[in-house]
Amino acid sequence: MIPYGKQKITEEDIDAVIRVLRSSFLTQGPAVSKFEQSLRSYTDAKHAVAVNSCTSALHLSCLALGLGPGDILWTSPISFVASANCALYCGASVDFVDIEPDTALMSVEKLEEKLQQAEKEGKLPKIVVPVHFAGQPCDMQQVHELGKKYGFSIIEDAAHAIGARYQGEPVGNCRYSDITVFSFHPVKIITTGEGGAALTNDLHLAERIALLRSHGVTRDPEKMSKEPDGPWYYEQIELGFNYRMTDIQAALGYTQMESLDHFVSRRNEIASWYDEKFNVLSVEPLRLKSERDSAYHLYVTRIEGGEKKRDYMHNQLREAGVGVNLHFIPVYQQPYYRTVEQTEDMQKECVSTDNLKWLNNAEHYYARAISLPIYPALQLEEMHHVVQVISQVTRDFEQ
Ligand SMILES: *Cc1c(COP(=O)(O)O)cnc(C)c1O
């Protein structure tokens, strides 16, 4: 089976991990800050905090921005569940902003409409989480302007988008957001096995995220309630977690960073190759907007004709050994989200069919989407095979 995504591990990666295994520190050693330094210098963000997953990075980012019970977070429905779950971890509610049809990114127009409505009802969000879906950055400048107008904070979910650029600048520099989070799960652009990071230009946010990553425990005398009793002394000053990244993971992350540009350019080559082939077939790849370079975590195309044709295409490809996938089932359709105890209003709003008119584009997208294989080691003959199956199936449709 050709998978839809796969990590690429070099000999340098393997050597780096082995060096850590032979060293004194498997965790809480020097590798994490070295990896964080490489994330900072790649993105130009002032601060980077590495954690054990992007989900943890989202959770801690929400906490650092003060999200709690009674608050509302908005995100895109076409994302992995983690983009929404982070709100529920904090006891807040979540609601969804519809996507643009051609990019599957959160629609700025729909966002503005929904903000106007929410302002009237006194239900403005505290945090908005735009998702750089498939590796393409959202309209961050516009989202940022709306953030200033309506007073919400912004977390960029860049789980798909390390190595992407917006207006010529690296995603992660937080020019238009408070925090940006990355994922280093093996299907993403670079990997640490499991892992994530939060980037920010705000020292206070970075310190809070770092504190909460490790139990809320500090050894910094300036943050303590009294003079330290001795060199062994530490204080827990908040309720934190163990969300630490190990040195084994961080060493892998550091050497993976050296391959990042190569991985992203290889993904872009594959995407252009597919784009060209699909020009003459009746399938419709997602579009790239101006002023951005995608990291192409996913290559998504759409099969016109609705669910039956989508399912037929998925099945034919799988039968032919192509491990296609669907990113994503709209989050509000998940059984948990249909029953979750959000505030009653919010609950009604999220899942009522009445509200689905607000989420038309997400519904339409889900009935058509298909993610094709894209990863650095994908072979040309495998790409030919994918296109050949798709062209056969589209011929079947025409008959
Ligand atoms: C993968 C993913 C996450 C979660 O990343 P983990 O590192 O697996 O926790 C969050 N958001 C999006 C959009 C993702 O695709």
Global pTM? 0.96
| Of 7, 51, 85, 185, best ligand 1 pocket probe by most atoms within 8 Å of the beta carbon | 185
Residue nearest to atom 10 of ligand 1 (CA): 82
**Structure-token pair, residue 155:** 């977390």
Domain locations in the chain as residue ranges: 2-258, 262-328+364-398
| The Cα angle at residue 183 between residues 2 and 333, in degrees rounded to 5 | 75
Per-residue pLDDT tens digits for 183-235: 999 999 999 999 999 999 999 999 999 999 999 999 999 999 999 999 999 99
Q: For 124, how many CA atoms within 13 A lie in the half-sphere containing its CB? A: 15
Whole-angstrom distance, CA of residue 143 vs CA of residue 139: 6
Cite the DSSP H helix spans in 44-124: 54-64, 82-89, 108-121
Asked if residue 192 has its Cβ within 6 Å of ligand 1, the reply is no
Place of tokens 């929410």: 118
Q: How far is CA 291 from the centre of its chain?
A: 20
Distance 56 CA to ligand 1 centre (A): 10
The more confident residue out of 381 and 347 is 381
What is the CATH superfamily name and number for domain 262-328+364-398? Aspartate Aminotransferase, domain 1 (3.90.1150.10)
Asked if residue 54 has its Cβ within 6 Å of ligand 1, the reply is yes
> Are residues 126 and 154 in contact, defined by beta-carbon separation less than 8 angstroms?
no
Asked if residue 183 has its Cβ within 6 Å of ligand 1, the reply is yes
Tell me phi and psi for residue 275, to 5 degrees: -50, -45
> Are residues 31 and 39 in contact, defined by beta-carbon separation less than 8 angstroms?
no
Per-residue pLDDT tens digits for 290-323: 999 999 999 999 998 889 999 999 999 999 999 9
If we measure between CA atoms, which residue out of 170, 260, 179 comes closest to residue 212? 179
> Are residues 294 and 134 in contact, defined by beta-carbon separation less than 8 angstroms?
yes
Q: Which CATH architecture has domain 2-258?
A: 3-Layer(aba) Sandwich (3.40)
